[in-house]
Structure 1
Amino acid sequence: MWLFLYTAACVALSLVPGAFGEIFLNNATEPLSRFLTRPQSLAPALNVTISKPGQADGLIFMGPYGNGYMGAGPRIYDKQGKLVWDGYGVLPGNAHNVHVCTYQGSPHLCMVLASDQTGYAAGMGVIVDSNYRIVQTVQTGRGAMPVDEHEFHLVDNGTHALVSFYQTVPYDLSPINITTGMGYLMEGGFQEIDVESGDVLFEWYSTNHVDILDTVIKPNTSDVSGTGTTGTSGFDYFHVNSIDKSLTTGNYLVSSRHTGTLYCVNASDQNVLWRLSFVGPSDYTLRGFNFSFQHDARWVSDNDEMSVISFFDNAFNGFGDPATGASATMSPGQVIALNHTDNTAKLLSITYPPYNTTSLSQGNTQLLANGNVFHGWGDVPQISEHDGDGNVILAASFANKQGTIMNYRAFTFDNWNSTPANTVPAVYSYALNTTAPTSIYTSWNGATEVATWRYYGAQNIGDNFTSIGSTPKNGFETLWTAPEFYRWVMAEAVSASGTSLRNSSFQPTFTPGELLVGSCTETGCKALPTEGFVNADVSVYQGTS
């Protein structure tokens, strides 16, 4: 049975049986935060364990999810670990690859909203404006299956989108000893889509270009390999998990987890121009590095003589003997250079996880403009930022156990600002009785420009609200205590320049009744145990890999 703390940004109520509400000046009570102004939130608490100078400006963007976790959705945090936006219930379903994108000339949020299957998903790409409203969707076309969560991002100044998909086809699997009947193969594919028209501009299917014998796994040997015997459990020999488009050549960089290979795909004829692999056929000799089961391969630069690429090296998938099946004992982020003249590939830089962990699935490596590197660690519930020398300058975790709550990719961006036009600040006020001080909790989900909360109070409906105080914003939910009782309260959000941003509605102050008051103090009433999971005795890797 799980027991979680009831956290309110810089304020939390203890859930220890028999204890009364106490004030905690942090938001580090893993694995879940809870807020009095947003009680349906199940946002993971982001527990910052390392914080040093040199971090890039910006916020953290994630899409936590997990088997049995009922609060999956997109989230934004600041680098102190405080929640900024809770997308649970605002956008439906699991959200993967949550990041800032440029659409129609301004910052938006791009993500995949999807129903997770075993090892992949089926859904659509969505584009969300700064009011957290969906303004555009992207779906596959022609004969492809729906958008998979492994890839969705905009290219060509936001006019086109790259999306991945997984498609099962009847297939002769006799080369891998399935001979007693028709086999089923899961092929990986991607499309480039015109965002406005939905037209398919380019598409690619792995089975047309990559032999099934290039795979490094076998059917029914991992939680996402598939059996190859049914249409709902096709043998996932390829497992596409990232696609990127070169700014100079227009060619595509494709990552396959189950062949352990990066492919450069010709934008003109779909053919594979070159392969890079440590565990399979490779057109380049690797010098000073290796990798396997990798994710998130990205072009850094690309020309006829040399290509620079970043990727996240998982190094192991968690199945089999790590002594023989792992290419490294930790999962690093790597930046490499491919020399197209002598066909060699060399390591340029490497960053290691803050706590020497191996990410068995998922994960990403984001190169930042100031030279830092930001990582999401996939099934390991952690994020980190590293300086140009690889030193950890930010580390945070958001669950107590690997595989309970996961995150496909995590990012940081410094260009996200929001004063949501469709919502108002939320207020909850509490007093032990009508002669006690009034504790006022305020939040505004997703608002990034609030610096100060001003408070107003009245005793009766119809009375003028008078100013009763103010306090700096402190985390997602801020607590301020008025020295006397107010039957009605209202809050005003104020920017750093002193501009009034929005008022809340006026709210009545809660006072406990005769039977409840014995379980309450001046700071609040005893919290009842709660939990954010359901019992589910299945693979913790169900979903993205």
Structure 2
Amino acid sequence: MRSLGVVTLAVSALSALPFVLAQDSVSYDIETYGTDDPSGTPFQTYQSNGDIKPPQIHINSNQSGLAEGFVFIGVDGQPTSGQNFPTIFDMSEDRMGTLVWTGNYTEPFDFKAQTYKGQPVLTFMIGELLNGYGHGSFYVLNQSYVEIAHFSPVGYENLGDIHEFTITSDDTALVLVYTPKQADLSELGGAEDGWIFENIFQEVNIETGELVFEWNASTHVGLNESYNSIQDVGTEASPFDYFHINSVEKDANGDYLVSARVMDCVYKISKDDGHIIWRLHGKQSDFDVEDAVNFAFQHDARWVDDDQTRMTLFDNGPTDEIGYSRGLLLAVDQDAMTVRLINQFYNAAQTFAQFEGSLQAIDPSDENTNYFLGYGNQPYFAEFDKDGNILLDAQFGATNTVNSYRAFKLPWQGKPLTKPDIHYDKDGNKAYFSWNGATDVENWIVFTANATDSTTWYNVTSARRTGFETTIDLTDIKLETYVRAKAVNSTGGKLGWTKASDGTSLYDASDDVQEDSNNSTSTSTSTGTSTTAAPTSSSATAAAPSSSTTGAAVRAAQRVIEQVYVVAVVVVGGLALA
């Protein structure tokens, strides 16, 4: 009977709480996904921030057991898609498919979170995608999304390639270069004075720009190892891509692991003089590779452990046996020189990704870690448990008009220097709040005052953040001329204030104010009047298309109401139920 009384009181208290809705649009119906967008690139829009239009995520399936972390996608869409930006998504159970951050950098490649000088950073290559390679430069952003480094390969200004940007434990960068070089192609049926793409990897000191190490393929690997055919290439304008380097990693001993796509081979390169220590697979393999491991056109070869006994790679395929792409977890014995398959990972559709792709051991220190698969030139990603069971199967486009070179699941804490965004729909009695890049916002507290320079703002309601944008219904709540909100973290600590809005424009307002929960009078303490306030911007309050109400949005709203209900039980009942 006692618990029943608590529930009754909680239900009564719940009627005074605002209705909260997640504005993010997430699809669970593949039959309708992207049907309103002829380019096949469905996107989301927000009332509080009309400048961003990230991809709409479609969830094919999701299960419990997902690893912690955010999903990183460097969206590289065709120019007509409008989707060419780095994006971070929250794929946790209660914020599934909602945006965390997107930035104004076009054509990003190898977008991920890394560590530089002991601090978390975002890294990516920005440039131009050409015929299977790219030209551009490399960026490092801090946790406030401010550029702290920007560089090119040494001697190759703005000619950095798309395929790799990894920061080592020595705070150096591993980057690639594709550059034309004359070569005798007669042994392959080409011209004696032909041209190849020289493939180079460099290790560069990010801070000083000094070259630490450089290796090039043509000095160490013969043309006859390639599975590629010359056909109508081999000129200076169209060099023969005989090697196609697409990943490099520095191991715990300082040697380098290199993947070459058209060699069907992974190479271990000596840190001392660049000689090839061994070849794994390909025409001149030094290993006994079991048939189940047979891969082709692979990407993203990585050691999982410092002892170099387990390796991951993305097998694009196809091979004679398998017509779809898959991630491979391999047991590599460098003493016995054998390679065996531990497990393979592929989504329910058995997607074939002709180009690009990645496989990530989410927590390499844990033998039971989950694995994350990115499908490169197809807009899919998936998460698996260690046994290959699908825990998450999702996509960010209806066609490969959009894609992402790699995809990752990584920890990240964003601390933007910008203010949170607000859109106040005065006529509709709703307020919309978001903060691009802020990962720690747990609740929005809504305030009102009769002047932008008021020294006291009245707390009228609060709500848990539901996704990127949270919509709060202010019907029947006593409001004065201006509305704004404070973003707080899970412990109630202040993170930032929005500007003030009267439903027409945005106004600067001090963050150093008194907060009062008693709004029984219509006049708050102020040093001026609302008629003297000058708007700072009106773009964020302009009307914008609202996200479609999907089953996911309804479920998200229902979860929020249920969570508020639990909070109400705790408060009203005075019981520690959490």
TM bracket (short chain): 0.7 to 0.9
Separation of aligned partners in 2, 1:228 and 1:40: 44
2:236 corresponds to which of 226, 230, 234: 230
Q: Is the 8 A contact 2:47 2:544 kept in 1?
A: no
Q: How many residues align?
A: 466
2:159 corresponds to which of 128, 146, 155: 146
1:352 corresponds to which of 334, 346, 352: 346
Q: Is the 8 A contact 1:93 1:115 kept in 2?
A: no
The SS at the match of 1:57 is coil
- Match in the other structure for 2:85: 73
CA RMSD of aligned residues (A): 2.6
Are 1:255 and 2:268 an aligned pair?
A: no
Give deviations 1:126-177, integer Å, cap 9, x for gaps: 21110001112242114687221201111124x2111111111122222232
Q: Is the 8 A contact 1:486 1:509 kept in 2?
A: no
- Match in the other structure for 2:247: 242
Shift of 1:30: 6.0
- Match in the other structure for 1:174: 186
The SS at the match of 2:404 is coil
* Higher share of residues assigned helix: 2
Separation of aligned partners in 1, 2:182 and 2:310: 38
After TM superposition, list the pairs within 5 Å mapping 1:103-502 onto structure 2. 103-142=116-155, 146-157=159-170, 159-179=171-191, 182-219=193-230, 227-231=233-237, 233-247=238-252, 249-277=253-281, 279-287=282-290, 288-301=292-305, 307-316=309-318, 328-369=322-363, 370=366, 371-401=369-399, 403-414=400-411, 416-420=412-416, 422-432=417-427, 437-458=428-449, 465-483=457-475, 487-502=481-496
Give the TM-score normalised by the residue count of structure 2: 0.76
Shift of 1:374: 0.8
Separation of aligned partners in 1, 2:380 and 2:90: 15
Shift of 1:70: 2.7
Q: Which amino acid in 2 is paired with 1:35?
A: Y
1:86 corresponds to which of 82, 86, 102: 102
- Match in the other structure for 2:508: none
The SS at the match of 2:293 is coil
Q: Is the 8 A contact 1:386 1:394 kept in 2?
A: yes
Q: Which amino acid in 2 is paired with 1:286?
A: V
Q: Is the 8 A contact 1:128 1:134 kept in 2?
A: yes
Q: Which amino acid in 1 is paired with 2:334?
A: H
Give deviations 1:431-480, integer Å, cap 9, x for gaps: 44xxxx42111100000111111112345656664333211111101111
Shift of 1:493: 0.5
Q: Is the 8 A contact 1:145 1:166 kept in 2?
A: no
Separation of aligned partners in 1, 2:150 and 2:71: 23
Separation of aligned partners in 1, 2:337 and 2:117: 40
Q: Which amino acid in 2 is paired with 1:395?
A: D
Q: Is the 8 A contact 1:100 1:107 kept in 2?
A: yes
Shift of 1:246: 1.1
The SS at the match of 2:76 is coil
Q: Which amino acid in 1 is paired with 2:82?
A: M
Higher mean displacement: 200-209 or 106-115: 106-115
The SS at the match of 1:258 is helix
The SS at the match of 1:440 is strand
Any gaps of 5 or more consecutive residues in structure 1?
1-7, 14-28, 222-226, 317-324, 512-523, 530-545
Higher mean displacement: 356-365 or 48-57: 48-57
Q: Is the 8 A contact 1:458 1:486 kept in 2?
A: yes
Rg bigger for which structure?
2
Shift of 1:9: 5.6
The SS at the match of 2:187 is helix
- Match in the other structure for 2:23: 10
Q: Is the 8 A contact 2:77 2:84 kept in 1?
A: yes
Give deviations 1:476-525, integer Å, cap 9, x for gaps: 011112115765321111111111211111123149xxxxxxxxxxxx97
Q: Is the 8 A contact 1:456 1:490 kept in 2?
A: yes
Any gaps of 5 or more consecutive residues in structure 2?
1-20, 27-39, 506-541, 548-578
Give the TM-score normalised by the residue count of structure 1: 0.80
Give deviations 1:201-258, integer Å, cap 9, x for gaps: 111111111112222122358xxxxx22233x211111110001111x2111100111
Shift of 1:192: 0.8
Q: Which amino acid in 2 is paired with 1:411?
A: F
The SS at the match of 1:119 is coil
Q: Is the 8 A contact 1:171 1:182 kept in 2?
A: yes
- Match in the other structure for 1:319: none
